[in-house]
Amino acid sequence: MKNRFLFLLLIALAACSGGRQQLLDEISEKEAIVTKSYEDVLDKSTAESLRQDYWTFADDYPDDSLAPKFLHKAAELSLAIDMTKDAVNTLDTLIERYPEYQFLPDALFFKGFIQENHMKDLAAAKKTYEVFLNRFPKHELAAQVAVTIENIGKSPEELVQEFMARTNQPDSTASD
């Protein structure tokens, strides 16, 4: 009886310790499939499964250094498979859970980009970009974010007119 208990305990411990590595192996396999499918047509089924595996890893191993990276990748995959709301929600989770994440500025910028260009929610995008500038005013993307805020929602024609006015040049694209 005692030997059977120890045997079951060892099996349980082995299963638990293998869980992380098994999940990492599955993620690696699916990443290879998804990466290869980008060359032709994205394998949405595998991409969705991979996105879920990234989330599972981040939830099961929140203190692992890979957890924030996998959430970032999950957001990128969400966008690739047209799950824009999920992409933003994933980035929100990343930003909240991992405020010291090395690529947090990029994640915040990505969130604003998705809101602006994919969701067409300009008010939310502007707010996200403002948060970016408040948190990371010296980041290499800060100047680009400031220009984006200034020009958000403007048509290409408006941008050309403003540029021409600043340079005091006649609009060469206007018809005579």
**Contact between residue 39 and residue 62 where contact means Cβ atoms under 8 Å apart:** no
The predicted-structure confidence for 16-48, as pLDDT tens digits, reads as follows 456 999 999 999 899 988 888 777 788 889 999
User: Exposed, middle or buried: residue 78 (CB in 10 Å: 0-12, 13-18, 19+)?
Assistant: buried
The predicted-structure confidence for 90-138, as pLDDT tens digits, reads as follows 999 999 999 999 999 999 999 999 999 999 999 999 999 999 999 999 9
In this predicted structure, what is the pLDDT of residue 5? Answer: 41
In this predicted structure, what is the pLDDT of residue 6? Answer: 39
Using alpha carbons, list the distances in angstroms from residue 157 to 19, 150, 151, 163, 166: 55, 15, 12, 10, 14
